[in-house]
Chains A and B, each alone.
Chain A
Amino acid sequence: MSSNSYASRSSRAFHVATHTLLETIRDRVFGVSILFCAMLLGAALVLSPLAAGEQDKIIMDLGLAGISVIGLFLALFIGASLVFREVERRSIYTILSKPIARDEYILGKYFGSVLTIVLNVLMMSVLYVLLVSLHLKTFHMGLLSAIYLIALELAVIAAFSLFFSVVSSPFMGAFFTLALFVAGHLARDILHFAELVPAQSGRMILKGITYLLPNLEYFNVKGMAVYGKPIPPDLLLFATSYGALYIVGILLLTMLIFRRKDLQ
């Protein structure tokens, strides 16, 4: 049966992805996030009267942090609303009544949200690179590596966000994802903290949870990049495999749960 072929099955996920992209970039949130980024960088421009030395670095650092945080909020918003809103608004009924498997739907939604986030990061990065190269005149390739890792981290966050969106409500989903972001960046600190917990069981639980969480600091090379240090390729390779592993794992879990869900 031709409609059962691999090509047409993956093309269904592709159509879900492209339409998710279309829907999310038409949502107000997308425009607002770009506007926000432009304002942030504009402010940096105004507030740095021919900055030199350390001040350059602060602006470069803040710019990267801005891209990361704005991207995070977009990922939170999209992830939280993606599936849940379609269930709540019942538009998912007609989509899943077509010959599309639930797994394909989840894949499509995930890649749609990643496409949106990548596009968003790309647009913000153009503004950022313009600021850094034209105004500060301190552009170098390490900044692009840093931006790549920010996008990768956001792709990991988007997978978790989709997962939470399937198992809970948009509000709780956004809350859990935010908590994951914070805990993921503090993973090492939490481990240190765990050592201080007196109760053996409490220590084990805390450690267990921390090992399940992704260590998001692997995606953070902002410091290195801002100081112009080269980003070692094996660090990029490691972070890429690490991120990919988490994405695949979380997506599989999401599919497994979504397969069993009653869409009442």
Chain B
Amino acid sequence: MIRVENVSKDFRSDFLRRRRAVVRDLSFEIRPGETFALLGANGAGKTTTMKMILDLIRPDTGSITIGGTDSRNPMARSTLGYLPEQPYFSPHLTGFELIRYYGALAGVGREMREERSRNLIRQLGLQGAENRRIRHYSKGMMQRLGFAQVLISDPSILILDEPMSGLDPVGRKEIRDVLLAQKEKGKTILLSSHILEDVERICDRAGFLVEGRMEEVVETMPAVAPRRREDDAPRDVPSLERLFVEHVHSRYKEKIAE
């Protein structure tokens, strides 16, 4: 569904205009209908990778396709929804106006827009606030609004950057339920997260990004590790946490030791 091939990206820091490799020769694939987690420390390149898939950032080398369409073609995003880290929206519009606006941008017809907006406002617990200007919204409400603009086009691909960060346990559970419902409907989901417990519960596969490289792709989530036969003992699947510590922290220790 999403294919990232040999993608590299350098950023030039303003200071001395030095180039810094942020993503290095990255290749991976997200299969139709699966939920894939990008894991990694802060600064590993998760957000940059997502933005390159969305054509917000252009890779220096390599190619990306979405459903076979080159990501540089806007139509590659015709059935895609994106939730950025800490989403932010025009403060002068109301929540309802914003959801309909994004629906229009996504090419959803007028009546459908109207109906879906109302449903999403209800589903995401924004009733009562939908006609208020967004500048009065709290952080949690922004996140819900962010989900509403993702779901307005009923996209088949969801790209979610840290969808559960900054939420309280109740908010987290609500979002997790939304995600599970989407997964149930067969949507393809790419998400980044720090909360391994949630990743284990929701995701089918996970990739570890370390300094812009894909260190390892975990094919089977520990919580749902299959047994070969009824009487088999559970396979020894390393927990995500152990892998995370191995890949991420060991690098830090090396760095500190240097």
Contacts and interface: CB of A to CB of B under 8 A. Distances in A.
The reply to whether chain A is a binding partner of chain B is yes
Interface of A: 1, 3-4, 8, 11-12, 15-16, 19, 22-23, 26-27, 86, 89-91, 93-101, 260, 262-264
Interface in B47-104: 48, 51, 54-58, 74-78, 80-84, 86-90, 92-93, 97, 101-102, 104
B181 interface: no
Main secondary structure of the interface of A (DSSP, over half): helix
Contacts of B81: 97
Contacts of A90: 84, 86-88
Contacts of B51: 93, 263-264
Given A99-B74, A99-B75, A262-B57, A15 B105 contact: yes
Contacts of B48: 264
Contacts of B89: 91, 94
B106 to A, nearest CB: 5
B149 interface: yes
Given A3-B78, A100-B74, A260-B58, A95 B87 contact: no
B80 A23 contact: no
B97 A22 contact: yes
Nearest to B9: A262
Contact of A19 (B75, B84, B101, B159): B101
A12 B102 CA distance: 10
A101 B74 contact: yes
A187 B89 CA distance: 41
A97 B56 contact: yes
Main secondary structure of the interface of B (DSSP, over half): mixed
B75 A96 contact: no
B82 A93 contact: yes
6 contacts: A26-B133, A91-B90, A93-B84, A94-B89, A97-B54, A98-B106
B146 interface: yes
A97 B82 contact: yes
B28 interface: no
A106 to B, nearest CB: 13
Nearest to A93: B84
Contacts of B88: 89-91
Contacts of B153: 98
Contacts of A98: 77, 102, 105-107, 153
Contacts of A95: 102, 105
B11 interface: yes
Given A3-B107, A93-B82, A264 B57 contact: yes
B86 A99 contact: no
A148 to B, nearest CB: 29
A95 B89 CA distance: 9
Contacts of B78: 1, 3-4, 99
**What are the 8 A-B residue pairs with the smallest beta carbon separation, nearest first?**
A97-B82, A98-B105, A26-B92, A99-B78, A263-B56, A15-B104, A23-B92, A3-B107
Interface string B109-149: 00000000000000000000000010000000000001001
B90 A94 contact: no
B74 A27 contact: no
Interface centre among B75, B105, B146 (most CB of A within 10 A): B105
A26 B101 CA distance: 16
B75 A4 contact: yes
Contacts of B77: 97-99
Nearest to A5: B107
B104 A262 contact: no
Given A1-B75, A3-B75, A3-B107, A22 B57 contact: no
Nearest to B59: A262
B142 to A, nearest CB: 11
Contact of B80 (A8, A91, A97): A97
Nearest to A20: B90
Interface centre among A27, A94, A96 (most CB of B within 10 A): A94
B90 A19 contact: yes
Contacts of B74: 99-101
Contacts of A8: 107
Interface string B10-37: 0100000000000000000000000000
Contacts of A96: 54-56
